[in-house]
Amino acid sequence: MAVVPPPACGEAAAYPLVEAFYSLQGEGFHSGMPAYFIRLAGCPVRCDFCDSKQTWSVTGFPRVSAHELADRAARSGAPAVVVTGGEPLIHDLTALCEALHAAGLACWLETSGSQPLTGRWDWICVSPKHGAPLQAAFSRAANELKVVVASEADFAFAETCARFFEAGRVLQFLQCEWGEAGRMQPVVIDYIMSHPQWRLSLQTHKFLDIR
C-alpha cells in the first residue's frame, strides 16, 4: 500500500485523528514513562487480535494539522509523543515529526513496520504482524522489536522477525496477547528464561485500567 500524503488542512499537513491524550507508555522499553499519545486512523494490516479495530478506516475522523497536534502535545506537559494507530505510516509523517520536534518533544513511533518509513524519530518500536512483511528500512532504523505472542507458534515468528534486524540493533520484547494471557503468560516467561535475548513486555496500562 502506498503512503498517503497528508491532505491539506488550510496551508498545513493534516492527519485523521482517532484520539490524543496524555498518559503513561504502558508497554515495551518506555513502559512507565509519561507520554502524549497521538492515535491516527487507518490500518490495512487487520490483525485478528487487534484491540483498535475502530482505527482501521480513516472515514469519519477529523483531520487535524501537524501544528495543532504538536501544540496540543506541548500544552499537555509531556516530554515525548507516541505516534500510533492504526498503522501510522500509511500517512507521510514528515510534517508531524517536524512540528513535534519544533515544539521540543521527543518522537516515538509504534508501527507494524509494513509501510514505508517517513519522519525523523527518536525511537522506533516495530511490532511485526503475520502477513505484513517488514520494510527493509527498519532493519537499521528500528530501536525496539516487540512481538505479540498468542500461541506457541508465534515464538518461531518472533525469531524470524529478530533475524531481520542487524545483530544487536534492537531490544527484543515478547508480549502476551491480552486475550491469551491466562494460558500463554507462563509459557512466554519460560521461553524468555531459556532464550534470554528476549525481555518481557507487559501491557501495564491494561492491568492499571488506564488509557
Tell me the C-alpha to C-alpha distance, in Å, between residue 94 and each of 22, 51, 89, 91, 210.
22, 27, 10, 9, 30
> Residues 101 to 140: which contact ligand SF4 by CB under 6 A?
112, 129
> 146-177: string of b/e by CB count within 10 Å (b at 16+)?
bbbbbeeebbebbeebbebbeeebbbbbbbbb
CB of 146 to ligand SF4, least distance (A): 11
Interacting span for ligand SF4 (CB under 6 A) from 15-23, 62-70, 81-89, 188-196: 81-89
The C-alpha atoms of residue 153 and residue 122 are separated, in whole angstroms, by 32
Give residue for cell 501544528.
67
Q: Which is nearer to ligand SF4, 66 or 126 (CB)?
A: 126
Q: Is 140 exposed, middle or buried (0-12, 13-18, 19+ CB in 10 A)?
A: exposed
Query: Judged by CB under 6 A, which of 55, 143, 175, 203 binds ligand SF4?
Result: 55
Nearer to ligand SF4, 72 or 129 (CB): 129
* Residue in 6, 28, 86, 88 binding ligand SF4, rule: CB under 6 A: 86
Shorter beta-carbon distance to ligand SF4: residue 55 or 143: 55
Query: Which single residue brings its beta carbon nearest to ligand SF4?
Result: 50
Positions in the binding site for ligand SF4 (CB under 6 A): 43, 45-47, 50, 52, 55, 85-87, 112, 129
